[in-house]
Every structure is written in C-alpha cells, then in structure tokens.
Amino acid sequence: MYRYEGQLVHESHDDDGIIEVIDTQGVRSLHFGSSSRQSSMRLNDPDNLELDYVRAMMAWLLFKETPGNALVIGLGGGSLTKYLLHHYTDIQINVIEYRQSVVKIARSHFNLPLDPRLKIIIDDGGDYLRKRTDTLADHYNLLFLDAFDHEGMAESVRNEAFFDACKSVLTADGIMVLNLWGSDKALFQQVTEWLGRTFKWRLLFLPVANKGNIIGFAFGENVPIVQMKALRTLAIALEENHHSIDFQGFLKEFKRNNAHILNNVISL
C-alpha cells in the first residue's frame, strides 16, 4: 500500500492516534497521520542524520566540546539519540517520550539500540520536568526539545513555567536546543519571549533552509562568549568528523538572523 508517495511498511494506533512508517526512495520516515515527517532514516546509513532540521540541532557543538549528560524530550524515530550514542562513547542520555508505542516503533523500525547509556522514560515531558526541578537541578549539560505531534508543539511545553524548569535542570554552562515552527508566528514570538526572560536573552536562532523549522539555542550564564574567528576555525574542524553537517553555513546564518542578540553569545 502506498501513502505520502511512499510504501507503507507499518501502521498502528494508540490512544493518541495513528503511527505510520513509510519507505520512500531508500529513506524510512515516521508519520503521525499526516504527510509531515516526524523522523527519517536512510536505510543504508541508519546512524547518520537525514533531516536538515536535526542536523541544525547539532550546531551546539560550536559552543560545547562534548555533550556530557543529555536530556531529550520527544523521541520520534530516535535519529538524534542514535547519532549522539554513535559519536560520544561517554554520553549518558535520558529520553522523555509520551507514547510507549513510539518507543516500540523506534526500536523495531528505526534501529534505536538497547544501550546502557540510554534511559527512556514514558511520561509527559513538561510534567516530568516541572515536578523534578529540585531533584534534577544542575544535572544536564544539554537539553533537546523536539516535542511535536500532528497538531504542532505539545501543549505541556508551551508555557513559561516549562522553560524555567528547563533552565533549572541545566548546568550553568548548559545549552538548550529546541525545534520550533517559524510558520506559527504568534507561538514563535511567545516562545522567544519566554526563552529571553528565562535565559536573559542569551539566545541564537537558526532557520533551516527551505523549511518551516527554526532551531533555537538558549545558553546558561557560564557559557563563555566566543569570538567569531575562533568559531570559523572550529567549524572547519567539526566538518571533518561530521561530514553531513554544514557548521560553516550555520555560522553565516547565526550572523544573518541574530543581529540584536548575537553579541550576547558570539563576539565579532
């Protein structure tokens, strides 16, 4: 059976709706009942990052050498989680995923490994963090938020209290990375204001070319301001180890799209 111009290889339902896995020209994608891809994996290169927006989320490497303890809110097919496990032997990752059925599909159809460095928690990401700001205070070096369903950004992470909780669980030199939809201008503006207040406008935004995604980066107070010249040198070195990721292009987009806040993070 064909769907979204590809071959349907799996379809199931849970209390939150439909889950579909589609193969198209060597790429396997996860769908939640619409043509929007929640996650994708190239079948002959499953550990690499297929989607542009997920590659853009790796721009944190320009500001931090290693991930340390990472928290991922929203698993999808697990491409970001797999990539981190593949490249960083010392990493510890906690993933918060609302749907148990999504975890099962990530393991059965998207090569998400059973790995002692990976712990998956079935819970609502917003509720989980808000209840644990004390016990998890200063625990994570990186926090990734990619909590979308077929209707958009999950309701429990669309409030200022959630972003305050994110700040609380990050170390002082930690970085939050979040996938946003620039096409929803009202929500994007609201999230920007919440992030700005919580992180004292130590923010950068990275639009994804020809997509609706805008990747946001929020920096802890102890993340040092970095010279652009040093970042250009680092970008070249990073591309030798991460061949599919255009770190030099990210720097150009940071400069182009963050005129009023760039110097809070990057010095020209």
Q: pLDDT grade, residue 8 (50/70/90)?
A: very high
How distant, in Å, are the alpha carbons of 99, 166, 173, 174, 218 from that of 138? 27, 10, 9, 9, 15
Amino acid 48: pLDDT = 94
- On whether the CB atoms of residues 51 and 79 are closer than 8 A, the answer is yes
Q: pLDDT grade, residue 51 (50/70/90)?
A: very high
pLDDT of 239 strictly over 60: yes
pLDDT of 182 strictly over 90: no
Q: What is the mean pLDDT of residues 165-183?
A: 94
pLDDT tens digits along 52-71: 999 999 999 999 999 999 99
Q: Determine what percent of the chain is predicted with pLDDT higher than 70.
A: 98
Q: pLDDT grade, residue 9 (50/70/90)?
A: very high
pLDDT tens digits along 117-140: 999 999 999 999 999 999 999 999
Amino acid 162: pLDDT = 94
Amino acid 153: pLDDT = 76
Point out the least confidently predicted range of 25-39, 125-139, 153-167, 195-209.
153-167
Q: What is the mean pLDDT of residues 19-39?
A: 95
Q: pLDDT grade, residue 217 (50/70/90)?
A: very high
Amino acid 156: pLDDT = 81
Amino acid 183: pLDDT = 74
Q: For the chain, which domains are there?
A: 46-267 (3.40.50.150)
Amino acid 14: pLDDT = 95
